[in-house]
Amino acid sequence: MVKVYLDIKEMGNVLDNIDTLGEKIVDNVASNLQGNLKMESPVDHGRLQGSWDIFNDGPLEKTVASSANYAEYVNDGTGLYGPHKTLIKPTNKKVLKFTPSKGKFKGMPIYTPYSRGIKPRKFVEKSMERTSNRIPELVIHSINQAKLG
């Protein structure tokens, strides 16, 4: 549980800006989460890392989301390691074909009857935890912004 104590005498003109204080807090938390997601995202080409955007859903509501359609698979895993816990097998052909972007077989087409999938990275959960741990600090920062603004 997070407890925040405020000394009203030290608040200065924050009370004059109380309407915008909540918005500042939400903005600062969303920005911090976006930064953590960019820092924690696994990097192969860098597309996932650079794909995190903040969307304004209302004055006190923000969404931080990735435009990379594969972000969920990297975070949660696939195949044996994913939510369905099954091998990945071809549906229309006899074998799967893919071309690794790194490693010993980089750039070479690989044919295989199945894939075990990828292990979950859980970078979203790590990012959320890091941001959650900083909420008291972000609230104080927002109050200081309101005092100065």
Secondary structure class of 110 (helix, strand, coil): strand
pLDDT at 11: 54
Residues in the chain predicted with pLDDT less than 70, given as ranges, are 1-19, 148-149
Rounded to a whole number, what is the distance in angstroms from the first to the last CA of the chain? 29
**19 and 33 in contact (C-beta within 8 Å)?**
no
pLDDT at 145: 84
pTM for this model (two decimals): 0.81
pLDDT at 147: 74
* Rounded distance between C-alpha atoms, residue 66 and residue 48, angstroms: 7
Secondary structure class of 78 (helix, strand, coil): coil
* Rounded distance between C-alpha atoms, residue 52 and residue 68, angstroms: 8
Q: Is residue 51 exposed (0-12), middle (13-18) or buried (19+ Cβ within 10 Å)?
A: middle
pLDDT at 17: 63
| DSSP state letter for 70 | T
* Rounded distance between C-alpha atoms, residue 60 and residue 71, angstroms: 25
pLDDT at 62: 93
pLDDT at 148: 65
